Amino acid sequence: MSEPITASSPDGLATRPPDRPTAGGDARASAAMLLVCLIWGFNFSIMKVAFAAIPVLAFSALRFAAASAALGFVLWRRTGRLAMPAGAGRQLVLLGLIGNTAYQLAFMEGLAHTTASNSALILASVPTLVVLLGVILGVERPSAGMVAGVLSATLGVALVIAARGVAFDRRTLEGDLLTVTAAACWAGFTVAVRRLPKSITALEVTTFTTITGMPGLVLAGVPDLVRMHWGPVPAGAWAALGYASLVSLVLAYLIWNASVQRIGSNRTAIYLCVTPLVAVAAAWVLLGERPVPLQWAGAVLIIAGVLLSLPRVALPRGGGAG
């Protein structure tokens, strides 16, 4: 493509075109992105723990209300204003509805009805779906590696869904399909973010798409919020809510943005391949979700597909592998 491409994380951060990285900055960004992989990888299991005490939709409403308040405060502290960027209001509202309201409803309900491992592995195909959607819309030209990646990741997702028994566990199947829907919403959001004016900063896009996506999530959660008996909610569930809101949604977004600016969006996106491996390990340790052979096979195919479909990125002179 002729113009710089922005990127997005699986939880909603849009980023600006990167600055040229330095060797030291490259190493720091790599270490920071590994931390993000740990944050997002454990987030699946941590939210599953919270769901045992807080209904899914109530949890999502509280999570985005807290994240919106935090991001709004950060933007206000940095810029002194909370005004929507001129000329992009409709785009940001639409992105908020697709990338946060629709995505989060499908993601959270999917996670509530499937395993943390399945959810993480299916969402690992998002970069491949982004490439495929870009090809369909004429944003990118297909290549042999991209086609091979799409086929590999698609087969991997099919294995992940089949691993828990399509014919024997309809609840899991429902969650898997909802997670596939969430992945499709996120792919559409990511491609749409590329068309935003470059003058809009990453923090502005993140803040306003989070805020505009929040009302639908709060409205969906109102019935559960009203019915909830908050007294019995254990401290662990509140801690999980804090982690999912402030660490997974806010802190990880800021780290992602810094990484894209230092080492570039494509190289940053490659780190997403590590997240499902962390998630599977976390689910094994925290939830006792022992992976089955088909899941391991699906994981290999998904990760291989993601790597095959990502474009090659030239390293800066004097830089090592990120």
Q: Do 6 and 17 meet the contact criterion of CB atoms below 8 Å apart?
A: yes
Q: Is the full-model pTM beyond 0.85?
A: no
| pLDDT, tens only, 238-285 | 999 999 999 998 888 778 766 765 665 556 666 776 777 777 777 778
Residue 14 DSSP SS3: strand
Q: What is the mean pLDDT of the chain?
A: 77
Alpha carbon distance 170, 114 (integer Å): 10
- Is the pLDDT reported for residue 110 higher than 70? yes
Lowest mean pLDDT segment, chosen from 27-36, 260-269, 286-295:
260-269
Task: Quick: pLDDT tens for 191-201.
Answer: 787 777 878 88
pLDDT of residue 320: 32
**Among 50-54, 118-122, 130-134, 141-145, which is the least confidently predicted range?**
141-145
pLDDT of 12 strictly over 50: no
Higher per-residue pLDDT: 27 or 204: 204
pLDDT of the residue at 14: 41
CA dihedral 164, 280, 37, 190 (to 10 degrees): 0
What confidence score (pLDDT) does residue 141 get?
66
CA pseudo-torsion sign 129, 219, 92, 204: negative
Give how far the C-alpha of residue 124 lies from the chain's centroid of Cα atoms, to the nearest Å: 9
Q: Which amino acid is at 256?
A: W
Distance from the first to the final alpha carbon of the chain: 24
Percent of the chain whose predicted confidence (pLDDT) is above 70: 77
Return the higher-pLDDT residue of 156 and 6.
Answer: 156
pLDDT tens per residue across span 210-240: 999 999 999 999 999 999 888 889 999 999 9
